[in-house]
Amino acid sequence: ILVIEFIYAIVGIVWLTQYYTSCNDLTAKNVTLGMVVCNWVVILSVCITVLCVFDPTGRTFVKLRATKRRQRNLRTYNLRHRLEEGQATSWSRRLKVFLCCTRTKDSQSDAYSEIAYLFAEFFRDLDIVPSDIIAGLVLLRQRQRAKRNAVLDEANNDILAFLSGMPVTRNTKYLDLKNSQEMLRYKEVCYYMLFALAAYGWPMYLMRKPACGLCQLARSCSCCLCPARPRFAPGVTIEEDNCCGCNAIAIRRHFLDENMTAVDIVYTSCHDAVYETPFYVAVDHDKKKVVISIRGTLSPKDALTDLTGDAERLPVEGHHGTWLGHKGMVLSAEYIKKKLEQEMVLSQAFGRDLGRGTKHYGLIVVGHSLGAGTAAILSFLLRPQYPTLKCFAYSPPGGLLSEDAMEYSKEFVTAVVLGKDLVPRIGLSQLEGFRRQLLDVLQRSTKPKWRIIVGATKCIPKSELPEEMEVTTLASTRLWTHPSDLTIALSASTPLYPPGRIIHVVHNHPAEQCCCCEQEDPTYFAIWGDNKAFNEVIISPAMLHEHLPYVVMEGLNKVLENYNKGKTALLSAAKVMVSPTEVDLTPELIFQQQPLPTGPPMPAGLALELPSTEHRNSNVR
């Protein structure tokens, strides 16, 4: 049928070229032209879909399964190798089609190959469709919620509640904001988030200010339409910005809008390629710091860098292969370090205004998401030259540093994670566990797929979702995956962890009120997180939203707002039921209004006063 449609489309083009101009019937001309155009659109869509979806290794897969049943080991190995090569080739072709608008360089071709092998390994042996994945996420979320409920119902454990999916115990360390030094450090974390946010340039500026942002940028526009207007302040180097300089203007406007007039932009690189991330360098005269800010993921090329997640040795002298990091971000950090040295950017920054003492300023490295991971690794590379360097990594990727490198990074890296953010919980080792859990819940479910997906909405009661203990045998007439999928283990990968000391901003969700009552706002807390605790993806509607940079900044500020209102956390001994998205902590049990403290500060890490365990189960809801 497709061949017939293709021939018909060619005939249509021939007819148009011969008779279109001479035909006097305007309606017939327009109808024929529309039919031909639509026909070609359909043909092109079908071809692209087949190219991306069709798996030419299916025949090899069937042979592999038959050979495994006959226990022919050598033949199985050869077929397995052919299958992996074929699947990697298919994924490489799909990536190139998806990113067809990007220019291919050698580094990009290498990234295609590595990511293709990653996808081929992750999706191998799967016989599921996208709707199965959606249903699996719903089921996995239900399972996680049931496990939290079961933990809270146990009599003999130290977990008092869950905040943003993380267990709260009497050993949980909250930031002691009553301590002046701790408060100063936290405000510093909030302050440098503004630098990380500015690195996203004009797209994030317009997203935050959709109404007046465009007018603000247009007013400062310095494109060819306004040749008389000066382009940038003297002494500012701009690399590969667009013709209007929108990114550099947005960075400058960002600081002016925040009334940070003492910030001078020294260098802005908008160059964007695989393993080559945009960044800028600024001098903050108020804080007496030179700041390197690295942009997060904003383009398909950034996504290729993110996905190149194998372990790579950190190029730091004295640690012969013991320190490992995310390969894509190691290469990005090496690129930025090389750029700083070639352009002598830091020398320009520290010599910006010797009269104001810029020579003695400190160095700060910041970033969000991809930029956070790159900033942490860049700090490793720069620390021998700048031993007092500090790094602030906001929403860093989970699979970033090996354990020994992660422990060392706690000396100079402070990381921030908001709520159930997905990215700090994602690495190759975490993805392997997530894949196994997803396949397991799909195999155990007996509910119709449509019922599972609709049950995740408010269209039907939550009771329609399957219970955790519902199990189906592998002999069921409908299997979501091949029975042996879970027995084929993924290749072992080196465990990698998020960097530095982690400030985890968590929050509760008050109980839903009736329609006539005002809903109480959630209350935000800052706790010290364990790097190894971010080893499981928490399924939640907020797991993507809480990764956005401006949402992270709002979360950081809300912790200060709650503290300034005098809300001091007093976790009750009650075990509390977990709500669909968060722990539903009753404000009357947790918070009591108190004036700001006037006495001596509490010891660090004891911002919470926890009751004794004898009364822990007195108010179970």
Query: Which is more confident, 269 or 14?
Result: 269
The tens digit of pLDDT for each residue in 376-406 reads 999 999 999 999 999 999 999 999 999 999 9
pLDDT number for residue 290: 96
* Cα distance between residue 447 and residue 450, in whole Å: 8
CB of 546 closer than 8 Å to CB of 589: no
523 SS3 class: coil
Compute the average pLDDT of residues 518-529: 84
Residue 162 or 282, more confident: 282
Task: Give the model's pLDDT for residue 20.
Answer: 78
User: Picking from 104-118, 312-326, 480-494, 602-616, which range would have the lowest pLDDT averaged per residue?
Assistant: 602-616
Mean pLDDT of the 262-290 span? 94
Grade residue 153 by pLDDT with cuts at 50, 70 and 90: confident
pLDDT at residue 96, as a whole number: 66
Whole-Å CA distances, 249 to 85, 89, 230, 388, 428: 47, 42, 12, 31, 38
How confident is the model at residue 367, as a pLDDT?
97
Average pLDDT over residues 78-91: 61
Instruction: Tell me the Ramachandran region of residue 287: left when phi exceeds 0, alpha when psi lies from -120 to 50, beta otherwise.
Output: alpha
Between strands 289-294 and 362-368, the pairing is parallel
Label residue 456 by pLDDT band (50, 70, 90): low
Average the pLDDT over 169-192 and give the result. 92
The active-site residue, picked from 369, 429, 445, 493, is: 369
Provide the pLDDT confidence category of residue 9 given band limits of 50, 70 and 90: confident
Give the model's pLDDT for residue 181.
93
Residues 16-58 pLDDT 10s: 888 777 877 788 888 888 888 888 888 888 877 776 666 655 5
Could you write out the three-class secondary structure of 234-285?
CCCEEECCCCCCHHHHHHHHHHHHCCCCCEEEEEEECCCECCECCEEEEEEC
> What is the average pLDDT across 585-612?
38
* Sheet bearing 263-269, strands edge to edge: 237-239, 263-269, 279-284, 289-294, 362-368, 390-394, 413-418, 501-507, 524-529
- Predicted confidence (pLDDT) at residue 104 exceeds the cutoff of 60: no
pLDDT of residue 437: 86
User: Which of 112-126, 175-189, 204-218, 528-542 shows the lowest mean pLDDT across its residues?
Assistant: 112-126
Q: Where are the domains of the chain?
A: 2-90, 130-146+429-487, 197-420
- pLDDT bin (cut points 50, 70, 90) of residue 470 is very low
pLDDT of residue 504: 96
- Does residue 153 carry a catalytic annotation? no
At 181-203, the pLDDT tens digits run 999 999 999 999 999 999 999 88
Residue 105 has pLDDT above 60, yes or no: no
Cα–Cα dist 422/541, whole Å: 10
Residue from 176, 241, 302, 421 carrying the catalytic annotation = 421
The β-bridge relationship of strands 390-394 and 413-418 is parallel
Query: Which residues neighbour 230 within 8 Å (Cβ) at sequence distance 6 or greater?
Result: 222
Going by pLDDT thresholds of 50, 70 and 90, the confidence category of residue 457 is low
312-364 per-position pLDDT tens digit: 999 988 766 689 999 999 999 999 999 999 999 999 999 998 989 999 999 99
State the average pLDDT for the chain.
Answer: 76
Q: What is the mean pLDDT of residues 477-504?
A: 63
Instruction: Compute the half-sphere exposure of residue 474: CA atoms within 13 Å on the CB side of its CA.
Output: 8
The pLDDT value recorded for residue 49 is 73
The pLDDT, as a whole number, for residue 223 is 60
Q: In the Cβ-directed half-sphere of 370, how many Cα atoms lie within 13 Å?
A: 29
Q: Where are the alpha helices (DSSP H) in 99-179?
A: 106-122, 130-153
The model's confidence at residue 208, banded by pLDDT at 50, 70 and 90, is confident
pLDDT score of 287: 94
pLDDT digits (tens, 9 = 90+) for 549-578: 999 999 999 999 988 876 544 443 333 333
Report the range of poorest mean pLDDT among 93-97, 165-169, 496-500: 93-97
Which one of 129-133, 259-263, 476-480 scores highest in mean pLDDT?
259-263
Pairing of strands 263-269, 279-284: antiparallel
Kindly report which listed range (47-61, 283-297, 442-456) carries the lowest average pLDDT score.
47-61
E strand intervals along 306-353: 311-313, 324-326
In the chain, the percentage of residues whose pLDDT exceeds 70 is 67
269: annotated active-site residue: no
In the three-class reduction of DSSP (H, G, I as helix; E, B as strand; rest coil), residue 174 is classed as strand
Q: How would residue 516 be classed by pLDDT, with cut points 50, 70 and 90?
A: low
Q: What is the pLDDT of residue 62?
A: 54
**pLDDT above 50 for 475:** no
Q: What percent of the chain has pLDDT over 90?
A: 32
434-447 exposure pattern, b = at least 16 Cβ within 10 A, e = fewer: bbebbbbbbbbbeb
Judge whether residue 474 has pLDDT over 50: no
Who wins on pLDDT, 132 or 204? 204
Question: CA-to-CA distance for 392 and 365, rounded, in angstroms?
Answer: 6
Per-residue pLDDT, 46:
81
CATH 3.40.50.1820 describes domain 197-420:
yes
Whether 236 has a pLDDT exceeding 90, the answer reads: no
Pairwise pLDDT comparison (263 vs 432), residue with the higher score: 263
User: What pLDDT sits at residue 359?
Assistant: 93
* Pairing mode, strands 324-326 and 567-569: unpaired
Give me the pLDDT at residue 578, please: 37
606/610 Cα distance (integer angstroms): 9
Radius of gyration of the CA atoms of the chain, in A? 28
Residue with tokens 């590379």: 381
pLDDT in the model for residue 286: 94
